[in-house]
A and B are shown apart, each in its own frame.
Chain A
Amino acid sequence: MLIKRPADIRESEITPEGLYLDRRKFIGTSGQAVIAAAGASLLGACDASAETQQKEELTPLEDVIGYNNFYEFGTGKDDPAKNAKNFRVRPWTVVVDGHVAKPATYNLEDLVRPMKIEERVYRMRCVEAWSMVIPWQGFALRDLINRVRPTSRAKYVSFTTLNDPQRMPGLRYPVLDWPYREGLRMDEAMHPLTILSTGLYGKSLLGQNGAPIRLVVPWKYGFKGIKSIVRISFVETQPQTSWNKSAPNEYGFYANVNPEVDHPRWSQARERRIGEWLRRPTLPYNGYADQVAGLYRGMDLRRNF
């Protein structure tokens, strides 16, 4: 039996589309523009707007960079921080291929330099029923997609993580079918909430968080946010994704946060926000239903979990 409570926070309150920081400071660090974190003012605005809503504070940096699932660096929660300490991210190339007008292999700097870096404070809901609030820096994936101009045959975007056991010791064990792969439907990839992130808390991403570039899709479970991306392919059919391949009955392709559809082995109705003792209710689409529910209109969410 589910005990449902009405959503006590409006989806748009934490990171509405278009709530871009007005005090953008671009810091040129080796070609990468990074915005100084101004999460405090963002939260201030959010706190003032409602007294009844549950508090949504930024998760402390030490937890964001110390408690990670990144199996390429080990399966323990503290393994990634330990094993990614000396992770080299330069040089880094990203292959963009498939059904695009301009397939190319980009140096990361060339890929990122023209993009408009923004701060986005997003909830991050792990499929394991814990969550964080993270101030990301990054750019809308759609801006990149528009740059490389996919053809009409491109229906999905497929992403691949680096597969280098020398630099990622976790790859020596076949816990998953390496390399890690993820994918989005084209309309999901084009959604303005979907970003490619290059930093958090005002600093370049650390290895454990998916340096140097990763996907963030805030209404989906965290495993969709593929890290350390080396390939972005535009494909015609739904791409194979790692967790889905590993356990298709447990991890779907869509993986939208949904308190109504449980993981076969545990409930998704509630989550533990890192830093809190008791669980809080999980919101449909992780609190972003206003913006994204329309993408799935008419779909059976129990089947397309």
Chain B
Amino acid sequence: MSVRGSAEVRESESARGNHSRTLGLSHLRTLLFVICLLPLANLIFDGFTGGLEAEPVKDITHRTGWWALTLLLLTLAITPIRKLSGWNHVIKLRKTLGLFAFFYASIHLLIYFGLDQAFSFAYIGEDIIKRPYITVGFTALLLLVPLALTSNLKAIRRLGKRWQKLHRLIYLCAALGVLHFYWLVKADVREPLFFAAALAILLAFRLPLLQRKSAPTRAPRPARAGPLEKPQ
């Protein structure tokens, strides 16, 4: 997925062609790409140097899940950052963050399938049906799939207005992801509650009330901008 993600980034860059005068932005995106790979590099490094916990499968599962959720929230933070800072180009980092959220969520799921449940459909099916935290986590990941598949420029153009509607699913994915986290901890819910608070703040930015307040920064936006330029 990461390889495809990078290809798409390059593809969409060339598609926008010369009028992208922000050379700095493409550097920034490359930098972000590398930064997003660091948790994976750290995981692999720890795996080879004995840096994982005594229950490595759980450690890998938790870490990739944590990063998937964190990147999902960062993806949701882009629009508020743009509105508050007026830095419109920041929107172009959103796809990288979103795809990496999907990337880490996919590792998370694969580890669970393979090392936790030994690829047994009986175990996995039972888990998905019987355990609410697995049900919501699995649902969240399923809902991320169409978003990842339609993250390229071609899909954006083809879907037009429907693209934005479709990609509003990310709110649901993030909410289910936080719920998944909250339901799986035993007693110390401080960290999931922190994620829930962050999500609540990020979603509050989407409320019509706050939208109106931030109207001045929205005004300069061209009316016929492509879907990528629209706030989520």
> What's the dominant secondary structure at chain B's contact region?
helix
Chain B window 84-122, contacts with chain A (Cβ cutoff 8 Å), 1 for yes, 0 for no: 000000000000000000000000000000011010101
Given contacts A75-B187, A265-B133, A266-B131, A277 and B57 within 8 Å (CB-CB):
yes
A48 within 8 A of B: no
Which of A66, A265, A274 meets B184, CB within 8 Å?
A: A265
Q: Tell whether, in the assembled complex, residue B184 and residue A278 are in contact, meaning their CB atoms are under 8 Å apart.
A: no
> How many Å lie between the Cα of A176 and that of B116 in the bound state?
29
Task: Enumerate B163-222 residues with CB–CB distance to A below 8 Å.
Answer: 183-184, 186-188, 190
For A136, list chain B residues within 8 Å (CB).
none
Q: Tell whether, in the assembled complex, residue A67 and residue B131 are in contact, meaning their CB atoms are under 8 Å apart.
A: no
Task: Enumerate B118-152 residues with CB–CB distance to A below 8 Å.
Answer: 118, 120, 122-123, 125-127, 130-133
Given contacts A71-B187, A246-B187, A279-B116, A267 and B126 within 8 Å (CB-CB):
yes
B23 within 8 A of A: no
For B131, list chain A residues within 8 Å (CB).
265-267
- Best-buried of B53, B130, B187 by chain A (most CB within 10 Å): B187
Q: Tell whether, in the assembled complex, residue A274 and residue B188 are in contact, meaning their CB atoms are under 8 Å apart.
A: no
For B187, list chain A residues within 8 Å (CB).
71, 75, 175-176, 246-247
Total number of A-B contacts with CB less than 8 angstroms? 54
Q: Tell whether, in the assembled complex, residue A63 and residue B122 are in contact, meaning their CB atoms are under 8 Å apart.
A: no
Rank and list the top 7 A-B pairs by shortest CB-CB distance, nearest first: A67-B54, A75-B188, A63-B54, A175-B188, A274-B54, A175-B187, A1-B122
Given contacts A279-B116, A279-B118, A265 and B57 within 8 Å (CB-CB):
no
For B125, list chain A residues within 8 Å (CB).
1
- 14 more A-B contacts (CB under 8 A) besides A1-B122, A1-B125, A278-B115? A1-B126, A3-B122, A66-B54, A67-B53, A67-B55, A75-B187, A77-B54, A128-B186, A130-B55, A130-B58, A267-B130, A267-B131, A272-B55, A274-B55
Closest to A170 in B: B188
Q: Tell whether, in the assembled complex, residue B122 and residue A272 are in contact, meaning their CB atoms are under 8 Å apart.
A: no
Contact residues of A with B, CB < 8 Å?
Answer: 1, 3, 63, 66-67, 71, 75, 77-78, 128, 130, 173, 175-176, 246-247, 262, 265-267, 272, 274-275, 277-279
Task: Enumerate B44-67 residues with CB–CB distance to A below 8 Å.
Answer: 53-58
Q: What are 23 of the A-B contact pairs (CB < 8 Å)? A: A1-B125, A3-B120, A3-B122, A66-B54, A67-B53, A71-B188, A77-B54, A77-B55, A78-B53, A130-B58, A173-B188, A175-B188, A176-B187, A262-B130, A265-B133, A265-B183, A265-B184, A267-B126, A277-B56, A277-B57, A277-B115, A278-B118, A279-B118
For B54, list chain A residues within 8 Å (CB).
63, 66-67, 77, 274-275
Interface size class of B (residues with CB under 8 A): 20 to 34
> How many Å lie between the Cα of A77 and that of B56 in the bound state?
12
> How many Å lie between the Cα of A165 and that of B143 in the bound state?
45
For A175, list chain B residues within 8 Å (CB).
187-188
For B184, list chain A residues within 8 Å (CB).
265
For B53, list chain A residues within 8 Å (CB).
67, 77-78
How many whole Å from A224's CB to the nearest CB in chain B? 15
Closest to A64 in B: B54
How many whole Å from B132's CB to the nearest CB in chain A? 7
Given contacts A63-B54, A272-B55, A277-B57, A267 and B186 within 8 Å (CB-CB):
no
Closest to B117 in A: A279
- Best-buried of A130, A173, A265 by chain B (most CB within 10 Å): A265
Closest to A275 in B: B54
For A262, list chain B residues within 8 Å (CB).
130
- Best-buried of A63, A75, A176, A246 by chain B (most CB within 10 Å): A75
> How many Å lie between the Cα of A128 and that of B115 in the bound state?
16
